[in-house]
């Protein structure tokens, strides 16, 4: 009777200080790149062909009227409204954001009284002025009288810097979320991967996968920017949704039916291009925290599922980035 040969158990990889240092480079590079993501956003807005696609908007509210145009535009913004019975017409000029209200100060304006005519209306000059440091003015006018107001926007670099600075808190929260996921699991995954002698050249080893994911994220960006039309006509757009995100389309339609009251908040978020760009970069960093070996275990279907969950998290305020990483880890 031959003696059974039992193979010795595989030894655990040795996690040296050098291995830990190499692994820490991953999270440090990811966090550094992520915290600078608004620099990439600014570069996109300066691009000749696609800049206006990513650019944010400015909005002027005059009573119950709203005027919107691109932040780069210096074109005059006109609007006609009726003064309320209080005799006070409030004007507010801000950036169109989903978070904090960021005022645009010192915008010049002119007020004309609209006089109805038999064939056409005529405008009678009333006054002119400049909005205060909070982008606001309160005009004393005739109650129930119709007025035409002309605005002359001139957004400065200082105004834009204040706008971008308002996203610092969001960027820090997303960075903390990435670091938490790193410490919970990915640090150990990378240390084991490196200790086993694997190369740390993530970009080279996973270039094909990374390019595919980035391409998908850009497609998702296009989809998100068109969600207003999709939710106005959900059934008509179901086929389009399925082509892009597969079975997740039904989940989006279900979400529409269950959360119609939140559509207003969602639309505000869809109008905040800088916020969406930050969320998509955080999603991109989610994949960059995975080892090449983990990425190999992903199928196109699983990637689509992760992205679908992230889309839903982005659309529903308060749940941003809540599920994406957990789903990714379950399949990695």
pLDDT in tens, 212-245: 566 665 666 665 655 555 555 556 666 666 665 5
Token couple for 310: 């992230």
Domain boundary residue among 121, 155, 189? 155
> Rounded mean pLDDT of 119-135?
89
Range of the domain at 278: 17-35+167-331
Q: What's the DSSP call for residue 150?
A: E
**Do the domain assignments include residue 160?**
no
**Do the domain assignments include residue 45?**
no
> Rounded mean pLDDT of 163-181?
90
* Number of domain units in the chain: 2
325 and 177 belong to one structural domain? yes
**Do the domain assignments include residue 312?**
yes
Nearest alpha-carbon partner for 104 in 163, 52, 150: 163
**Do the domain assignments include residue 41?**
no
- Measured between its terminal Cα atoms, the distance across the chain in Å is 44
Rounded CA gap, 55 and 38, in Å? 12
**Do the domain assignments include residue 49?**
no
Domain boundary residue among 133, 155, 177? 155
Of 6 and 323, more confident:
6
Domain boundary residue among 109, 129, 155? 155
What is this structure's pTM?
0.73
109 and 27 belong to one structural domain? no
| Domain harbouring 100, CATH code | 2.60.120.1090
231 and 89 belong to one structural domain? no
Which pLDDT band holds residue 329 (cuts at 50, 70, 90)?
Answer: very low
314 and 204 belong to one structural domain? yes
């Amino acid at each position: 009777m031959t003696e059974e040969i039992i193979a010795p158990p595989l030894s655990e990889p040795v996690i040296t200080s050098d291995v830990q240092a190499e692994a820490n480079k991953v999270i440090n590079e990811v966090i550094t790149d992520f915290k600078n993501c608004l620099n990439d956003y600014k570069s996109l807005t300066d691009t000749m062909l696609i800049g206006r696609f990513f650019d944010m908007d400015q909005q002027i509210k005059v009573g119950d009227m709203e005027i919107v145009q691109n932040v780069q535009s210096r074109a005059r913004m006109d609007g006609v409204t009726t003064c309320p019975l209080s005799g006070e017409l409030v004007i507010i000029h801000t950036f169109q954001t989903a978070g904090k209200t960021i005022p645009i100060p010192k915008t010049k304006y002119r007020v004309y009284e609209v006089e109805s005519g038999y064939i056409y209306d005529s405008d009678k000059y009333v006054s002119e002025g400049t909005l205060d440091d909070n982008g606001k003015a309160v005009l004393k006018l005739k109650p129930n009288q119709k007025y035409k107001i002309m605005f002359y926007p001139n957004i400065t670099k200082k105004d834009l810097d204040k706008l971008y600075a308002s996203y610092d808190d969001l960027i820090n929260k997303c960075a903390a979320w990435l670091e938490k996921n790193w410490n919970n699991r990915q640090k150990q995954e990378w240390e084991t991967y490196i200790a086993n002698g694997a190369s740390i050249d993530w970009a080279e080893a996973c270039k094909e996968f990374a390019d595919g994911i980035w391409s998908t994220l850009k497609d998702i960006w296009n989809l998100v920017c068109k969600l207003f039309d999709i939710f106005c006509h959900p059934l008509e757009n179901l086929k389009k949704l399925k082509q892009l995100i597969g079975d997740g389309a039904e989940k989006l339609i279900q979400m529409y039916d269950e959360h119609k009251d939140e559509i207003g908040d969602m639309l505000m978020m869809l109008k905040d291009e800088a916020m969406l760009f930050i969320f998509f970069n955080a999603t991109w960093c989610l994949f960059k925290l995975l080892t090449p070996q983990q990425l190999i275990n992903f199928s196109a279907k699983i990637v689509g599922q992760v992205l679908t969950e992230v889309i839903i998290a982005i659309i529903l305020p308060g749940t941003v980035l809540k599920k994406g990483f957990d789903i990714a880890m379950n399949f990695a």
